[in-house]
């Protein structure tokens, strides 16, 4: 069965960096685009970034562009999100999610359980 | 960016009722719309994709409709486990965007 397990969250000071990881299993990782979505406490869902199945294309939300970098290692079936210059409004639960259709940018059919990032001094 | 507007923001209904949530896109997204259910403290789960196709394993009481800019999620015969927040999401153009959510309470 498909499993997505995020890690790397925690408390970090404003301006510092943090790297999130998502370990994938139960599907052919190299065939699917992957995404990050976040949810601030008590708020709705916000799409953050996407990376294509082959890693060749990435898109970012304006709110994180230039500060966050999405990457993947298909040899390890791992998705990453490098977050730099963190701000208070980056505080959220970060979910990794698998695209539904192979090699096609579509919606997400499986989500991880999320990892909480708290940006605070 | 494409703006997604859901209504209502919240809904309270009884077991067995029919509930309809609407979602309006700020521009034509064809059928590139998904619906998610999120229970408290849990990750969202996909209910409907491409506007009206049900995800595998989703109960048949959930159905989606619409095209272009106006969409709806209907829950027939509401069940206690349907207490959750529901989100629409457009997958037409990056950045993908979500509606603000509709909280459904089952009385």
Closest by Cα among B84, B104, B103, B96 to B4:
B96
Mean pLDDT for chain A? Answer: 96
Backbone angles phi, psi at A30, to 5 degrees: -70, -5
Per-residue pLDDT, averaged over B20-39, amounts to 97
Chain B interface includes A113 (CB < 8 A):
yes
pLDDT over threshold 90, residue A105: no
DSSP B96: P
Average pLDDT over residues B30-54: 96
For chain B, what is the mean pLDDT? 96
**Reported confidence tier of residue B95, pLDDT bands at 50, 70, 90:** very high
Q: Is residue B96's pLDDT more than 90?
A: yes
A96/A108 Cα distance (integer angstroms): 9
How many A×B Cβ pairs under 8 Å?
A: 52
- Average pLDDT, stretch B23-27? 98
Return the half-sphere exposure (C-beta side, CA atoms, 13 A cut-off) of residue B51: 15
At B35 the pLDDT is 98
Question: Chain B contact for A3, CB < 8 A?
Answer: no
Asked if residues B52 and B62 have their Cβ atoms less than 8 Å apart, the reply is: no
Asked if B102 has any chain A CB less than 8 Å from its own CB, the reply is no
User: Is residue B86 within 8 Å of B40, Cβ to Cβ?
Assistant: no
CA-CA distance, B70 to B52, in Å (whole number)?
A: 12
Confidence at B79, pLDDT banded by 50, 70, 90: very high
> How much is the pLDDT for A106?
83
pLDDT given at position A86: 98
pLDDT at B38: 97
Mean pLDDT of all residues in A73-86: 97
Min Cα–Cα distance to chain A from B51, Å: 11
Give residue A103's pLDDT. Answer: 86
Within 8 A of B55 by CB-CB distance, chain A residues are: 109
The SS3 assignment for A65 reads coil
Q: What is the pLDDT of residue A16?
A: 98
Interface subset of A 92-111, CB within 8 angstroms of B: 95, 100, 105-109, 111
DSSP secondary structure, B13-75, as one string: E-TT--EEEEEEESS--TT-EEEEEE-TTS--EEEEETTTEEPTT--TTEEEEEETTEEEEEE
Which residues from B are below 8 Å from A106, CB to CB?
49, 91
Residue A79: what pLDDT? 98
Look at B95 and A47 and tell me if their CB atoms are within 8 Å: yes
């Amino acid at each position: 069965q498909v499993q997505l397990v995020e890690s790397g969250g925690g408390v970090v000071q404003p301006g510092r960096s943090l790297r999130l990881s998502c370990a994938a299993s139960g599907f052919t990782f190299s065939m699917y685009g992957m995404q990050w979505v976040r949810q601030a406490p008590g708020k709705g869902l916000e799409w953050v970034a996407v990376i294509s199945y082959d890693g060749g294309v990435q898109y970012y939300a304006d709110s994180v562009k230039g500060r966050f970098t999405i990457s993947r290692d298909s040899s390890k079936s791992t998705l990453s999100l490098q977050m730099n210059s963190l701000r208070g409004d980056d505080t959220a639960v970060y979910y990794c999610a698998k695209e539904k259709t192979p090699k096609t940018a579509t919606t997400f059919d499986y989500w991880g359980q999320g990892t909480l990032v708290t940006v605070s001094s | 960016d494409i703006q997604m507007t859901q209504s209502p923001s919240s809904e309270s209904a009884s077991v067995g009722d029919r509930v309809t949530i609407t979602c309006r896109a700020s521009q034509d997204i064809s059928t590139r719309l998904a619906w998610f259910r999120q229970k408290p403290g849990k990750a969202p789960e996909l209910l409907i994709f491409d506007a009206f196709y049900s995800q595998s394993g989703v109960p048949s009481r959930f159905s989606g409709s619409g095209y272009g800019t106006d969409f709806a999620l209907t829950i027939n015969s509401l069940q206690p486990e349907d207490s959750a927040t529901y989100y629409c999401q457009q997958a037409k153009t990056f950045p993908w965007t979500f509606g603000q959510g509709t909280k459904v309470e089952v009385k």
